[in-house]
């Protein structure tokens, strides 16, 4: 199974040896690829829609992996049972080196990839019945990633690793989180990633510079407008500019 650049980066973050729960599995590509690589022992592929889940079942059958990958119709994590497995993967819904092996939940890793940050936050909020027994979360939000990082910080998760990949002109941030001590994140870390900034990730720097160029263009365009709506938007853009400047200041080579 050949994964896209984005999904390959997501799969890289999964700690070997456990059971993977793929939330919003779509075609089931990630669990199939990880089983081919013998990186996981089993998987549960879940999706809220019957169509994608049926496509996943077809691919699972095509690769003769029906004994190792279970499929479930599920709104988020609702169909994941507590008290029977090991770890949890979330990406779209990665690898950190902290390993925590659990023996009570269904999942070791929960993966959520390819969905918006607001939806991902809602899924995590609805997973209280099972997340306490999950070892790790692998998350790949498509938007509003600051909401996901804020949720993790407020609910006892530590972000252990992050990556960002460029594919087909789009930037995809990926993170791995495990239960840990509360981390107080600054504004630039919420929006652009504490571990990415620590590593001075070159793809993140490229993204920041493009964001800054676009933001400054909008500021110039709005500076000549005097309406209340324009003034509010200008204030928001200047706030974003300050956060971008703080993020770029973390890079020693400009």
pLDDT at residue 87, rounded to an integer = 43
- Among 21, 162, 156, smallest CA distance to 88 is for 21
pLDDT confidence tier of residue 211, bands split at 50, 70 and 90: very high
The single-letter DSSP state of residue 132 is G
The sign one gets for the Cα dihedral 106, 139, 41, 99 is negative
CA distance 173 to 149: 11
pLDDT at residue 128, rounded to an integer = 84
CA distance 234 to 242: 12
Please, are residues 53 and 75 in contact by the beta-carbon 8 Å criterion?
A: no
The single-letter DSSP state of residue 150 is H
pLDDT, tens digit, 9 for 90 and up, residues 2-28: 999 999 999 999 999 999 999 999 899
pLDDT at residue 83, rounded to an integer = 60
CA distance 241 to 212: 7
Question: 194-201 long-range CB contacts below 8 Å, 24 or more apart?
Answer: 194/149, 194/159, 194/162, 195/159, 195/160, 195/161, 195/162, 196/162, 196/163, 196/164, 197/247, 197/250, 198/250, 199/162, 200/250, 200/251, 200/252, 200/253, 201/162, 201/163, 201/164
| Beta strands 136-141; 157-167: pairing state | unpaired
Task: Please state, rounded to an integer, the average pLDDT across all residues of the chain.
Answer: 90
pLDDT, tens digit, 9 for 90 and up, residues 30-50: 999 999 999 999 999 999 999
User: For 194, how many CA atoms within 13 A lie in the half-sphere containing its CB?
Assistant: 17
Least confident of 60-69, 88-97, 227-236: 88-97
* E strand or H helix that includes residue 174: strand 170-179
Tell me the average pLDDT across 97-122: 77
Q: At what angle do helices 5-12 and 29-36 cross, to 10 degrees?
A: 60
pLDDT confidence tier of residue 29, bands split at 50, 70 and 90: very high
pLDDT at residue 175, rounded to an integer = 98
pLDDT at residue 182, rounded to an integer = 83
pTM for the model stands at: 0.88
């Amino acid at each position: 199974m050949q994964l896209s650049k984005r999904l390959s980066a997501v799969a890289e973050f999964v700690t070997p040896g456990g059971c993977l729960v793929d939330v919003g599995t779509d075609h089931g590509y990630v669990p199939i690829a990880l089983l081919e690589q013998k990186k996981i022992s089993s998987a549960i592929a879940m999706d809220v829609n019957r169509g994608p889940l049926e496509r996943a079942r077809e691919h699972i059958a095509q690769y003769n992996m029906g004994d190792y990958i279970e499929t479930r119709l599920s709104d988020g994590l609702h169909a994941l049972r507590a008290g029977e497995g090991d770890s949890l993967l979330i990406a779209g819904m990665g690898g950190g080196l902290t390993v925590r092996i659990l023996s009570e939940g269904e999942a070791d890793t929960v993966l959520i990839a390819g969905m918006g940050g607001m939806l991902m936050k809602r899924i995590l909020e609805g997973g209280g019945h099972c997340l306490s027994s999950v070892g790790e979360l692998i998350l790949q939000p498509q938007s509003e990633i600051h909401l996901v990082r804020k949720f993790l910080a407020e609910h006892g998760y530590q972000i252990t690793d992050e990556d960002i990949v460029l594919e087909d002109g789009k930037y995809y941030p990926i993170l791995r989180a495990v239960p840990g001590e509360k981390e107080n994140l600054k504004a630039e870390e919420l929006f652009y990633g504490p571990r990415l900034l620590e590593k001075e990730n070159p793809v993140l720097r490229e993204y920041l510079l493009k964001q800054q160029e676009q933001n400054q263009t909008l500021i110039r365009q709005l500076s000549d407008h005097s309406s209340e709506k324009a003034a509010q938007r200008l204030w928001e853009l200047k706030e974003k500019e300050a956060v971008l400047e703080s993020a770029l200041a973390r890079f020693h080579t400009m």
